[in-house]
Every structure is written in structure tokens, then in C-alpha cells.
Structure 1
Amino acid sequence: RFALASHFFWGLWSILQAKISTIEFGYLDYAQSRFEAYFQHKAQ
């Protein structure tokens, strides 16, 4: 029900974390997968 909003939110959060976080994590890869899921669900 709220899948689109969730994917979009976590995608944006990941992009922000990639810029400001000191923790090494694949934030941009995670953002990409979330936005791919967002657009996939949106197309359905």
C-alpha cells in the first residue's frame, strides 16, 4: 500500500547519507536499487 512512498523515501535518504555519513556503506547502490523498485512498482 505504501511501497512507492517507502522506496522513494529510502532512496532519498540513501543519497543524503552518501554525502554526509562517515560510515562506509554502499549508499548510492542502495539508493539505485530503491529507485529501481520505485519505478518498477509505479509502472504496474
Structure 2
Amino acid sequence: RFVLASHFFWGLWSILQAKISTIEFGYLDYARSRFEAYFQHKAQ
């Protein structure tokens, strides 16, 4: 039910974290996977 909102939110969060976080993590890769999932579900 809220799958699209969840993927979109976490995608945005990951982009922000990539800019401001000092923790080494693949935030942009995570954002990419979340937005890919968002667009896959949206197309269904």
C-alpha cells in the first residue's frame, strides 16, 4: 500500500545522507536501488 512512498522517502534520505554523513556507506548506490524499485512498482 505504501510501497511507493517508502521507496521514494528512502531514496531521498540516501541522497541527503550522501551529502552530509561522515559514515562511509554507499548511500548513492542505495538511493539508486530505491528509486529503481520505486519506478518498477509505479509502472505496475
User: What's the TM-score bracket when you normalise by the shorter of the two chains?
Assistant: over 0.9
- Deviating 4+ runs (over 2 angstroms): none
| Deviations, residues 4-41 of structure 1 (Å, cap 9, x unaligned) | 00000000000000000000000000000000000000
Q: How many residues align?
A: 44
Secondary structure of 2:24's counterpart equals: coil
Q: Equivalents in 2 of 1:3, 1:23: separation in Å?
A: 27
Segments of structure 1 that go 5 or more residues without pairing to the other structure are: none
CA RMSD after TM alignment: 0.1
Residue identity (%): 95
Q: Equivalents in 1 of 2:28, 2:17: separation in Å?
A: 9
Segments of structure 2 that go 5 or more residues without pairing to the other structure are: none
- Report the TM-score when normalising by structure 2: 1.00
